[in-house]
Structure 1
Amino acid sequence: MMTLILGGSGSGKSAYAEDYLLRAAGDKNKYYIATMQIRDAEMQAKVDRHHRLRQGKGFTTIEQPTELEQAVLQMEPAGAVLLECMSNLTANEMFSGEQPVDRQTVITKILQGMEGLRKQADPLVIVTNNVFEDGMIYDDSTMEYIEALGRINERLAAEADEVVEVVAGILQRIKPGSPGAKAQNRQDSRG
């Protein structure tokens, strides 16, 4: 089963994704694919915070800021996987070299990596950012990034069994998944 969880920065999507995966994983091996490239103290602080939050939860962390297909080689078959997050992976694939990589190349590379990951992971939970609603026009390379992430998110949402948006810690199921999703949605909305 594949679940896509999206939301804005600081929306609570990461905490929800971890809890969701822990409930769905049962006794399977749990993998956390971390995609953030650490470039400054603020990023390091965020990574350190996420490590503290995951402590004692049984995750094996795979640091994979690019080359998603390499993460698959580090996992046992049929493990439970949390990919955090697609927006970082897309930015890293596009901007890690001296020149930005074109949008279509990035989309193709990430979606190919996702195919391998989907074959290896069950369940697979993907966290992504919603960066599309501010209505701003940015420089060309940023607009290329936004377009690439948008296309990747669209494809993942179409293929996902379930799509959830988290806003200010409140979730909304956009595409209900498992038979228990509607009952869980009612329980989550009551607190």
Structure 2
Amino acid sequence: MKILYFGGQKSGKSNLAEQKTLEISSKKPYYLATYDNSFNDKEMHKRIDKHKLQRKEQFTTIEESKDLIKVLSKSKKEDTFLVDCMSMWLFNNIKQNEEYLINQLEEISKLDANIIFVLNDVNSGIIPFDSESRKFVDMTGIVGQKLAQICDEVYEVKLGLASRLK
């Protein structure tokens, strides 16, 4: 089963995705953390620490910022993964072309494991002035569409409430 939770910043998507992951897993699930710690961003470290406290010891954490296939391709049918978050994965791979990103998602779609994805919704605002930000917003939309296509369930999250779209 593949599931997508998407929403704005601090919408509650990670919390709901964690709950769903624990609900559907038959054994201790994996938390695939995509943040690249090389940025030395203190505010992001606080966010990460909060996520770690929230999930306690209920997950086995694996850190992989760029190559999801490297981790997920080793999965077994009974495995469950929470990928938090696809926006960070996209940011870390922003120099890659669209084909590379879509190919990774297509490979992931073929895997016989439960995978829950978290994605930030950044496509409802204005068109950014700089080209890098525009590329990130555009690619977030493209990646989001591909994830929605390959997922069995899709939830939009606002104010901690999930609306099922698929």
- What pairs with 1:132-151 in structure 2 (closer than 5 Å)? 132-151=123-142
SS of 1:141 mapped into structure 2: helix
Asked whether the 8 Å contact 2:105–2:146 carries over to 1, the reply is: no
SS of 2:125 mapped into structure 1: coil
Give the TM-score of the pair, scaled to structure 1: 0.79
RMSD value over aligned CA atoms?
Answer: 1.7
Paired position in structure 1 for 2:50: 49
CA deviation profile, 1:48-76 (whole Å, cap 9, x unmatched): 1111111131x111101112222225x54
Question: Quick one: which of 116, 122, 127 aligns to 1:131?
Answer: 122
Unaligned runs of 5+ in 1: 95-100, 176-191
SS of 2:157 mapped into structure 1: strand
Give the TM-score of the pair, scaled to structure 2: 0.90
**Structure (1 or 2) with the larger CA radius of gyration:** 1
User: Which deviates more from structure 2 when the two are superposed, residues 31-40 or residues 83-92?
Assistant: 31-40
Separation of aligned partners in 2, 1:30 and 1:125? 11
Query: What is the CA distance between 1:140 and its match in structure 2?
Result: 1.1
Paired position in structure 2 for 1:184: none
Asked whether the 8 Å contact 2:109–2:150 carries over to 1, the reply is: no
Unaligned runs of 5+ in 2: none
Query: What is the CA distance between 1:171 and its match in structure 2?
Result: 1.1
Separation of aligned partners in 1, 2:27 and 2:127? 43
CA deviation profile, 1:65-94 (whole Å, cap 9, x unmatched): 112222225x54121011001111001111
Matched, 1:89 2:80: no
Question: Quick one: which of 101, 108, 111 aligns to 1:110?
Answer: 101
Matched, 1:33 2:32: yes
Aligned residues: 163
Separation of aligned partners in 2, 1:114 and 1:136? 25
Separation of aligned partners in 1, 2:130 and 2:99? 23
Higher relative contact order (CA 8 A, sep 6+): 2
